[in-house]
Amino acid sequence: MTDFEKIKATVDFIDGPKIEIGDSHSENFLVELYEDIGGEWGIIYSNHEFKPFMWYKYLRKFRTKWRVNIWGIENFEPVLLFQHTYNEQDKKILLRFDSHSYDVNYRWLLKAESFGKSTGSEILVSSKFHDRLRKNYSGSVQIIEQQKDFIGYCETNGIYASYDIGKHDIQSNMWDFWESGGIFENHASYYASWHHPQNWIGLSNEDLFDNILRL
């Protein structure tokens, strides 16, 4: 089914998916968040008492193919009013590099350029080495300074999705669902933490990039 919008709602994937309804079409909405699991849609979040002008933010921060469905009521019957499937084509994607090594930042920058070409997206990179990277790089990626008001920057500049590329703490960012030692929300896929699909111990910096973006 092709994505469509019959109500005013917004979806972005800045530090994880955010869903906001700006429409009073129904007194209550049913909001569903799915992820693609091997070609099938597995439900992650469902709320049948979602109110007009309410928003919801999901914690998972690594790259995922998402789908958002919003249902309402028409003539006393449930009707699908909004569907959005994650799609990076012609979108702005911001990658925030978190490494104290310039060489690592530069290698990630080259991988970011390849990622942009393969997805048809416009890539922006935030790095503490922004000045030095600009001097030594002449590709298509836009290099920006690290932003103090990150959310404000994303809203102002129309960022569709953002990802933190770095080695984030695992222990403080897991759910430990069913004593699994990680996140296992839909009983189908296991993830090490909200930041990483798998533990980064043993991964090279290049593999870390690929793992967070699930390339």
pLDDT tens digits for range 134-185: 999 999 999 999 999 999 999 999 999 999 999 998 765 555 554 545 666 6
pLDDT at 178: 46
Contact criterion met (CB below 8 Å) for 195 and 62: yes
Tell me, yes or no, whether 104 and 78 share the same domain. Answer: no
Write out the residue range of the structural domain in which residue 176 sits: 92-213
Give all strands of the β-sheet with 29-37 in edge-to-edge order. Answer: 4-5, 77-85, 66-74, 29-37, 40-50
Tell me, yes or no, whether 24 and 109 share the same domain. Answer: no
Question: Where does the pLDDT of residue 34 fall: very low under 50, low under 70, confident under 90, or very high at 90 and above?
Answer: very high
Tell me, yes or no, whether 53 and 117 share the same domain. Answer: no
Tell me, yes or no, whether 75 and 104 share the same domain. Answer: no
Tell me, yes or no, whether 197 and 107 share the same domain. Answer: yes
Tell me, yes or no, whether 205 and 135 share the same domain. Answer: yes
Tell me, yes or no, whether 174 and 110 share the same domain. Answer: yes
Is the confidence at residue 48, as pLDDT, over 60? yes
Last residue of a domain, one of 53, 85, 117: 85
Tell me, yes or no, whether 152 and 198 share the same domain. Answer: yes
- How many domains does the chain fold into? 2
Tell me, yes or no, whether 26 and 96 share the same domain. Answer: no
Tell me, yes or no, whether 78 and 106 share the same domain. Answer: no
Last residue of a domain, one of 59, 85, 111: 85
Question: What dihedral do alpha carbons 78, 34, 61, 181 form, nearest 10°?
Answer: 120
pLDDT at 155: 93
Pairing of strands 55-57, 77-85: unpaired
Give all strands of the β-sheet with 92-98 in edge-to-edge order. Answer: 55-57, 18-21, 9-14, 159-166, 92-98, 122-126, 142-144
Better-predicted residue by pLDDT, 210 or 75: 210
Calculate what percentage of the chain has a pLDDT beyond 70: 92
pLDDT at 8: 97
For the domain that residue 38 is a member of, what is the CATH number? 2.60.40
pTM for the full model?
A: 0.91
Per-residue HEC secondary structure of the chain comes to: CCCEECCCEEEEEECCCEEEECCCCCCCEEEEEEEEECCEEEEEEEEEEECCCCEEECCCCCCCCEEEEEEEEECCEEEEEEEEECCCCCCEEEEEEECCCHHHHHHHHHHHHHHHHHHCCEEEEECCCHHHHHHHCCCCCEEECCCCCHHHHHHHCCEEEEEEEECCCCHHHCCCHHHCCCECCCCCCCECCCCCCCCCCCCCHHHHHHHHHCC
Calculate what percentage of the chain has a pLDDT beyond 90: 83
pLDDT digits (tens, 9 = 90+) for 91-126: 999 999 999 999 999 999 999 999 999 999 999 999
